[in-house]
Amino acid sequence: MADNMFKVEIITPDRVFYTGDADMIEFNTVQGQIGVYRNHIPLTTVLEPGLVTIHEGDVQKVAAVHAGFAEILNDRVTLLAEVAEWPEEIDVARAEAAKERAEQRLISKNAELDIKRAEFALHKALTRISAAEYR
């Protein structure tokens, strides 16, 4: 392994989604987007739904990740995610339908609406649609 490479692991409740080496990884946290190189300061943070980009030299792998935690150590990044999907695993029609449902819920302004839940559903649908563009 080259000096600038580190281990990346993405784990979901269903599977070990990805294990490999990277020279950089980018993902979203609740405090914003973060890019991590080898020897990053140790950090544990909460994941926000979004795209994860794994850089390995000239190769980039993109996936959609929905909620969870990230642990960053100097030579390893581990994402524990609720859901992780490669672009080819995403059902775009289903994601578009989920986006429409979430938007309709937010527009309705129903007093019983859980706004945070509807916004989260919309964010997940938009993440899936964005990831699917990398097919």
> Are 13 and 78 part of one and the same domain?
yes
> Are 47 and 67 part of one and the same domain?
yes
Range of the domain at 35: 6-85
The rounded mean pLDDT for the chain is 94
Residue 48 contacts residue 14 (beta carbons within 8 Å): no
DSSP state letter for 40: P
Q: Which residue bears the tokens 């302004």?
A: 109
Q: Residue 110 pLDDT more than 90?
A: no
> pLDDT digits over 8-65, tens only?
999 999 999 999 999 999 999 999 999 999 999 999 999 999 999 999 999 999 999 9
Confidence of residue 108 (pLDDT cuts 50, 70, 90): confident
> Are 75 and 31 part of one and the same domain?
yes
Give the pLDDT score at 113.
78
Rounded to the nearest angstrom, the gap between the alpha carbon of residue 109 and the centroid of all alpha carbons in its chain is: 29
Count structural domains, the chain.
2
Overall pTM > 0.85: yes
- 104 lies in some domain: yes
- 1 lies in some domain: no
- 40 lies in some domain: yes
